[in-house]
Chain A
Amino acid sequence: MCFRCCELNRRSLLIGGGAAAASLATGVAQARIRPADMHPLIGPGFRPTDRDEIGLWQQMDRVEEEVAGSNLLIKDPELIRYLQQRIGEVGGPAAKDMRIYLARIPDFNAVMFPSGFSVIFSGLLLRMRNEAQLSGVIAHESGHFLRRHMIRMWRDMRRKSDIFAIGAMVAGVAGAGAGVNTGDITQLAQLGTILSLFRYNRVMEAEADAMGVRLLAENGYPPIEMANTWEQLIGEQDASARHRRKRRDRGYSLFSTHPAPGARMADLKVSAAEATVPGRAYDNRRGRYLQAISPIRKTLLDDQVKLNDPGASQYLIETLARDGWNGLLRFYEAEVWRLRNRSGDDVRAAQGYAIAVAYADAPPEAWRWHGLSLMKAGRQAEARAALSRYLSMQPNAADAPFIRQMIS
C-alpha cells in the first residue's frame, strides 16, 4: 500500500492465478470516490480478530522489527516526533495506533503496512513544499489502514483465485466429459482475474485519496495541496524525461496498480473543492514544516543531486524555490549543473556558486566550489579569500589539508 509504488508482486498473482470468467474484469474508466462517502472502518486500538488477519499481522510484526532496526532509517528524534505528530493529527480514529519510520531513500514514496506502521522515504520530505502536502501523503497512507485495504485486498485475491481454480477444474472436467478443450477459455479467465485484481487495487488507491482529502480538510489543512503534490510529481517526471529526450511514462494501463497520476490529480482537485468549507480558514503550516526538516534538508538535496537525474533535480529545486530562494537551494542548483557537465555547464555552475555565496545561509561547500571555480578562472586572490572562508566555516573538513596547501 504505497503512495506510488511500481513494484508489484507478480509472483503472488501468478500463484493466485485467475478467476472464473473474464466478465469479472470491467472497463478501464472508474468513477471518482467522494470524500464524504469515506468513513473509517476501524476504531481506536484496533486488533485483528479474524484468522487470516491475525496471521498477516503476526508476519508484519517481524517485518516491523526489521524495519525498526534498519540502518537505512533516519533517527533524528525531533524529526521523528514531528512526523509522529502528523500521523497523530490526520490518522483519524487510529491516530494513536500507527507508527511511522523515516528511511533514507531519495525517492518519492511512502508505504503503509497492514499492521499500521508506515515508512516514509526521505525523498518525500525533500519534495513537499509545506506541512499540508506532507500531511496529505500521510493521510492517504492512514486511509489505507483506516479502510482496512490490505486485508480486503488479500481476501479479494484469495476469493478470485479460489473461484478461478475451481472454475478451471470444473470447466476442464466438464469439458472433457463433453469432449471440448477448455484451455483457451481458462487462459482468458486467468487474464480476466488478473485484470480484476489490478482494478481492485486502483479502487483502493482512489479510496485512500478520498479518505486523505477528508482527513486533511478536517484538520484545517487546505485539501487542494494533495492535488498540488501530484502536479509537482507530474512536472518532475516530465522534466526528467525531457532531459533524457524521452516521454514520461503515462502510467496507465490495464496492469497498473495505481490510477494514472493525471487522473488522480484531476479527481483530487474535484474532491478538494468538495471538502473545502467556505469561510473556514485553512493553513498549510509551511513555516513549521521547514523548521522541522531543516536539520536534514541539506542531506536530502545532496542525495537528490547525486542521483544523476539533472532534469528532475533542477525541476525540484526550482519548485522549492517558488517559495523563495536561499543559499542552500542556489548551491545545489549550481551542483546540478556541475555534475551534469555539458558544454558551458562549468561557467553556469561557477556563476551559480557566486550567486549562492551572496546569501547569508550559503553552506560551506558553496564557498569551497566558489573558490575552486575562481581559481580555475585565474582569479587567485579572490579564490584564496573564498577558500579561507570555507576553511573557517569547516576547519575539520576531510579536504582541509589540501585546501590549506592550495592557498598557502
Chain B
Amino acid sequence: MRHLGIALVLALTVPVAGCVQTRQFADLQFTPPQGDYRLLVMRPDVTVNSVTTGGMPEPRADWTEQARANIIAALRAQQAERGGKVQIMARRNELRGVSEDMVADLERLHGAVGNSIALHKYLGAYLPTKPRRGLDYTLGAEAVELGRKTGFDYALFMHAEDNIVSRGRVALQVLGIAGCFVGFCAPNIGGGGQFAYASLVDLKTGEVVWFNVVQTGSQIAGLKMGDIRSPAGSAQLVERLVGRMKPGYEIRRARERR
C-alpha cells in the first residue's frame, strides 16, 4: 500500500515538475518598438552545456555554435515581423566609427547593470526606496554616444544558455524513479534547463527600458522544455524572451482608462 502511495504522488508530481517561467520589467513610460526603428543586437552570448551523469555542466563547442546560429536566425525572423531594421553583431569590431574597446566597455557595463537588475528585481533584494518605479536603470552617456555614432534607436543585449542532460544522467533518473517502488525515491535529480535574459536599451536616453528573464527546466532529468540546438527550439526561446514585450505600467494604465 505504501509503495502504491508513492507511485501515486509521483504520478501527480511528474507532469508539474517541468516549468517555463518568464518575468519582465519595463520602464514606466516604455512602449515596445514598432514600425520603422533601428535595432542593434549586441553579440548574443550563447552557451550550450552537456550535463554529466554527476551533474556537472560541460561546455559543448559544436552545440554552442549551432545554437548561436539558430538564435541569430530566429531573432532576425522575429524582428522582421515587427518591421524593424536589425543588425546583429558577431564581433566587437564591425560597427563603423565605433572602436572595439567602446563596444567592450558597453558590454561590461551592461554586465554590471544587468547583475544589479537581477539582484534587485529578481533575486529578492528589492530596493525599498524604489517601489513601483518599473525599471530605473541606465547605461549612461556612453550608450547615447553609441546611438549617436551609429544611428541605431535601440540596443538589445542577450544571454542564453541551455543545459542538455546526458544519457548517463537520464539513466540515473530512470533508476531514481524506479527506486520509488522499493522505497528509495529520487524522482527529481534534475540538471537540465534553459536560462536566458534580454535587455533593451534606448540609445536616445541610454536607459534600460525593458528587461526579461526566461527560465525553463524540469526537476526530472531528460524531460525537456525546449532545446535551442534546433531552429524550432531557438525560435521558441526567442519568442518567449522578446516576443511579447509589455508596455510600461503608466502606458498600460493610460490605455486601460481609455
Please measure, in the bound complex, the distance between the C-alpha atom of A282 and the C-alpha atom of B222, giving whole angstroms.
60
Given A55-B59, A169-B175, A177:B53 Cβ within 8 A: no
- A154 contacts across to B, CB distance below 8 A: 58
A16: Cβ under 8 A from any B Cβ = yes
Please measure, in the bound complex, the distance between the C-alpha atom of A252 and the C-alpha atom of B175, giving whole angstroms.
40
- B52 contacts across to A, CB distance below 8 A: 158, 161-162
B69: Cβ under 8 A from any A Cβ = no
- B62 contacts across to A, CB distance below 8 A: 51, 54
Number of residues from A at the complex interface, CB < 8 A: 31
Cβ–Cβ contact A51 & B60, under 8 A: yes
A344: Cβ under 8 A from any B Cβ = no
**Chain B 39-74 interface mask (CB, 8 Å, partner A; 1/0):** 000000001000011111111111010000000000
Chain B: minimal CB distance from A300 (Å): 25
Please measure, in the bound complex, the distance between the C-alpha atom of A267 and the C-alpha atom of B57, giving whole angstroms.
36
Please measure, in the bound complex, the distance between the C-alpha atom of A161 and the C-alpha atom of B52, giving whole angstroms.
9
Cβ–Cβ contact A55 & B56, under 8 A: no
A408: Cβ under 8 A from any B Cβ = no
Number of residues from B at the complex interface, CB < 8 A: 28
Cβ–Cβ contact A57 & B61, under 8 A: yes
Cβ–Cβ contact B47 & A59, under 8 A: yes
B15: Cβ under 8 A from any A Cβ = no
B151: Cβ under 8 A from any A Cβ = no
Chain B: minimal CB distance from A293 (Å): 26
B186: Cβ under 8 A from any A Cβ = yes
Cβ–Cβ contact B178 & A58, under 8 A: no
B168: Cβ under 8 A from any A Cβ = yes
Residues of B within 8 A of A (CB): 47, 52-62, 64, 100-101, 104, 108, 168-169, 172, 175-176, 178-179, 182-184, 186
List the 10 shortest-distance A-B pairs measured between CB atoms, nearest first.
A161-B54, A176-B184, A55-B59, A58-B61, A173-B179, A176-B183, A162-B53, A172-B184, A162-B54, A165-B54
Known: A161-B54, A165-B55, A165-B172. 8 other contacts (CB 8 A): A15-B56, A51-B61, A58-B59, A154-B58, A158-B56, A166-B172, A173-B184, A176-B183
Residues of A within 8 A of B (CB): 12, 15-17, 51-52, 54-59, 66, 69, 154, 157-158, 160-166, 169-170, 172-173, 175-177
